[in-house]
Amino acid sequence: MKKFNVAILGATGAVGREMMKILEERDFPLASLKLLASARSAGKTLPFKGEEIVIEEATPAAFEGCDIVLGAAENDVAMELLPHAVKAGAVVIDNSSAYRLDPDVPLVVPEINPEDVKWHKGIIANPNCTTIITVTAVGGIHKLSPVKKMVASSYQAVSGAGVGGMRELEAQMKALSAGEPVVCETFPYQIAYNLIPQIGGFNAEGYSSEEMKLQNEGRKILHADDLRVTCTCVRVPVMRSHSVSVSLETERELSLEEIREAIAAAPGCKLVDDPANKQYPMPLDTSDQDLVYVGRIRKDLASDNGGIALWCCGDQIRKGAATNAVQIAELVAAL
By annotation, the residues acting in catalysis are 129, 242
- CA 192, CA 235: separation in Å to the nearest integer? 11
In angstroms, the Cα distances linking 242 to 118, 298, 311, 316, 318 are: 30, 21, 11, 6, 11
- Greatest CA separation found in the chain? 61
Q: Which residues lie closer than 8 Å to 80 by C-beta, 6 or more apart?
A: none
Three-class SS of residue 154?
A: strand
Q: Cα 263 vs. chain centroid, distance in angstroms?
A: 19
The total of other beta-carbon atoms located within 10 Å of residue 225's CB is: 7
CA nearest to 309, candidates 153, 76, 89:
153
β-sheet bridge partners, residue 123: 92
Please give the order of strands across the beta sheet that includes 68-71.
Answer: 45-48, 51-57, 30-37, 4-9, 68-71, 91-94, 123-125
Query: What single-letter DSSP state applies at residue 185?
Result: S
In angstroms, the Cα distances linking 131 to 205, 215, 313 are: 20, 8, 12
Rounded to the nearest 10°, the torsion over CA 217, 218, 220, 221 is: 110
- CA 73, CA 13: separation in Å to the nearest integer? 8
- CA 77, CA 74: separation in Å to the nearest integer? 6
Render the burial of 22-31: b for 16+ CB within 10 Å, e for the rest. bbeeeebebe
Q: Left (φ > 0), alpha (ψ -120 to 50) or beta: where does 87 sit? A: alpha
